[in-house]
Amino acid sequence: MTMDCCESLISPATSRRALLLGGASFAAWAYLPKFARAADGRDPRLIVVTLRGALDGLATVAPVGDPDYAGLHGSIALASSGPHAALMLDSFFALHPSMPEFARMYRERRAAVIHAVATPYRDRSHFDGQDMLESGFAGPGRVQSGWLNRALEALPRGQRVMSGLAIGPTTPLVLRGKAQTVGWSPVALPQADDDTAMRLVELYNHRDPALASALSQGLQLDKAAQGDDMKPKPGTNNAGAMRLVARGAAKLMSADDGPRIAALAFDGWDTHANEGGPVGRLAQLLSGLDGALAEFESGLSERWRDTVVVVATEFGRTARINGTDGTDHGTATIALLAGGAVKGGRVISDWPGLRHASLYEGRDLAPTTDLRTVIKGVLNDHLGLAEGVLAETVFPDSETVKPMKGLVG
């Protein structure tokens, strides 16, 4: 007789725990180490947002000062004047008009752009590109753990203990690993009513008091995240859904004993057709991202001052539009930083130019900044992880990739 691998390793009591903890998003919360305030009095939070599908960095933060940009991006190119004018960040770069909240944060020096950035990956497969983005290794298929989980595990326990929050129906690879995390899925699934939930707690009070306590705390936290303002309104689109996800996560992260590190992903950024320029499909997606950043800011309240949000994608898109007014898989793109702890108000870029001779393989924006140097800079300055730990554990075999300094203040 063949026995399921889980049944062969897990006792009935442990199986019961696993099933119950999986059903109540935060029932495991009581088992996690609680946060210890750092000696310097800071209370840092880090949120990693992955945009799956490959964001068109040239359409999001457009190099309107580059003489070759408009010709390459054609009908979807942003312009510094006219209807739907882009939001000028400086004399060379302009932000998509669907991101006014990010533009405000930028003016307030609480947001920054890193342009012409990429992971070491160059082969344009979504699957492998996302694997490398989230695993932190220099090649795909290497491990089943992510750089953010390894960073969480490497935090100095005596000084700063943090717990991780995985947002979504499954834990993103970036937060999988040995360090304990909890998950919250904001999807509209049928929920047990309060009476049923409390009967379950009462049952386990008699049979498993520790689990009953955990379940009770989990239900309270889940209720906090799923308040009345979390109910989707009729006609809610992708942009509205992004805001709701961020709103619930911010509620949980703003609590004194809430998670300090979180990871979530927004899908749908593969704009092969009808990308839309200043209006259309990409505009709706960017509006949702912009709204999500604003929800983090308002929901975290005073915690926002010690927060960094990192927004990254697996690779960019072609410099030249295709025949269906979209863009195909490319190479370099942008990374975004937002939060009260960010030293913002700037676009950081070693700009390669868009002349044909400057394009990567004659088609893509050439990468001049390794995304790992950006993330290392945040982890080093914001969470206090040493360069050696970053090079050996968080991003293995990356000694030559040094943390970017001055991103966080």
Q: What is the mean pLDDT of the chain?
A: 84
| Residues contacting 101, CB < 8 A, separation 6+ | 290, 291, 293, 294, 297
Contact 346, 91 (CB under 8 A): no
Closest C-alpha among 149, 214, 225 to residue 181: 149
Task: Quote the pLDDT of residue 141.
Answer: 83
Torsion of CA 120, 349, 173, 51, to 10 degrees: -120
Tally of CB atoms within 10 A around 401 = 19
Task: Quote the pLDDT of residue 213.
Answer: 57
The ranges assigned to domains in the chain are 44-191+260-394
Residue 194 vs residue 68, higher pLDDT: 68
Task: Quote the pLDDT of residue 228.
Answer: 52
| Residues contacting 80, CB < 8 A, separation 6+ | 64, 86, 88, 94
Task: Quote the pLDDT of residue 225.
Answer: 55
Closest C-alpha among 381, 390, 283, 360 to residue 46: 381
| pLDDT above 60: residue 317 | yes
| pLDDT above 70: residue 26 | no
Q: If you average pLDDT over each of 49-63, 129-143, 161-175, which comes out highest? A: 49-63
Residue 156 structure tokens: 């100095």
Distances 22 to 6, 27, 29, 146, 218 between C-alpha atoms, Å:
15, 8, 12, 21, 11
Task: Quote the pLDDT of residue 69.
Answer: 98
Closest C-alpha among 153, 152, 188, 341 to residue 263: 152
Q: Burial code of 325-340, b = ≥16 C-beta within 10 A, e = fewer?
A: bbbbbbbbbbbbbbbb
Task: Quote the pLDDT of residue 236.
Answer: 47
Could you tell me what percent of the chain has a pLDDT over 70?
Answer: 76
In this predicted structure, which of 34-38, 72-76, 216-220, 292-296 has the lowest mean pLDDT?
34-38
| pLDDT above 60: residue 366 | yes
Distances 347 to 19, 69, 111, 203, 336 between C-alpha atoms, Å:
47, 17, 9, 56, 9
Q: What's the mean pLDDT in 339-348? A: 98
44-191+260-394: CATH topology: Alkaline Phosphatase, subunit A (3.40.720)
Residue 246 structure tokens: 């961020």
Listing DSSP states for 303-317 in one string gives: GGGGEEEEEEES--B
| Residues contacting 32, CB < 8 A, separation 6+ | 163, 180, 182
In this predicted structure, which of 83-92, 233-242, 289-298, 344-353 has the lowest mean pLDDT?
233-242
Contact 63, 93 (CB under 8 A): yes
Inter-axis angle of helices 194-207 and 209-225, nearest 10 = 160
Q: What's the mean pLDDT in 259-288? A: 93
Phi-psi region of 222 (alpha: psi -120 to 50; beta: other; left: phi over 0): alpha
* Spatial separation of the C-alpha atoms in residues 293 and 384, rounded to whole Å: 24
pLDDT band of residue 205 (cuts 50, 70, 90) is: low
Could you tell me what percent of the chain has a pLDDT over 90?
Answer: 65
